[in-house]
Amino acid sequence: MLTSPPLPPNAIRWLAALNIHSRADLQRAGVVRAFLLLKASGHTATERLLFALAAAARGEHWSALDDASRTALRQAAAKHPPVRPLPPQAERQAFMTEALTLAAEAAQHGEVPVGAVVVQHGRIIGRGYNRPLGSHDPSAHAEMLALREAAANIGNYRLHGCQLYVTLEPCAMCAGAILHSRLDHVLYGAAEPRTGAAGSVLNLFAERRLNHHTAIDGGIAADAATALLADFFAQRR
């Protein structure tokens, strides 16, 4: 379990809320990511806490960190992609279940089973499932259709304060539209090793030269999303 020292008691409580309870948990989460999640959660997370987290992950006191290690931590924090705390598990499950239902509908129409929903203040404002074949439109991916409906519903293409749940890692086209829409957070199911633009092939969300930074988290109901895709392509074969 994490202890004080090297971590302040408040930090241990904050980390517990992120389901980080032990040195192994901290190592798996990543020191810099854990630090940035604490900041994103509204906690006072100073540079000294970053060093304390690194020390805790190593099993030593923060004062033992040398100058090179501290410089590397500062640089890693500056270059890290944006992060946001995950919504509660029940919320994640409910919205991803809706996206999976839409993905199944795509499969019924002979489309690759991908579904997406846009959520604002706990309410779905946009839905979409893959329709490029039926609509003769190469841009009619689930994410694009969900973004269009959400923007139309609120009368603004800027979707600040919104989350997108999608069953498959976005491609470069969808990632670009997501960034342009100023979405806060994307939560996806299965990774896409051939065209994924959220880390599998490239990570547009980590490109700091772009004009907005959307946080991204994968692996949400990944098994169910992967099973839908596997069943679809097995039937096609």
pLDDT digits (tens, 9 = 90+) for 56-107: 999 888 788 999 999 999 999 999 999 999 999 999 999 999 999 999 999 9
Please give the Cα distance from 2 to 233 (Å, whole number): 45
Q: Please, is 223 exposed, middle or buried when counting C-beta atoms within 10 Å of its C-beta (0-12, 13-18, 19+)?
A: exposed
Residue 21 marked in a binding site: no
Any catalytic annotation for residue 192? no
Question: Partners of 226 in the beta sheet?
Answer: none
pLDDT for the residue 62: 78
Q: Has residue 211 got a pLDDT over 80?
A: no
Task: Tell me the Ramachandran region of residue 50: left when phi exceeds 0, alpha when psi lies from -120 to 50, beta otherwise.
Answer: alpha
- Determine the pLDDT at residue 213: 84
104: enclosing H helix or E strand: helix 89-108
Instruction: Please report which residue ranges of 21-88 form alpha helices under DSSP H.
Output: 23-29, 31-40, 47-58, 67-79
- State the pairing for strand pair 162-168/123-129: unpaired
- Stretch 14-29: mean pLDDT: 95
162 assigned ligand-binding residue: no
Closest CA to 179 of 197, 194, 192: 197
Catalytic residue among 111, 143, 149, 192: 143
pLDDT for 60 equals: 87
- What mean pLDDT do residues 131-135 have? 98
Residues 6 or more apart from 155 whose CB is under 8 A from it? none
CA 17 to chain centre: 18
What the block records as the tokens of 207 is 């490109």
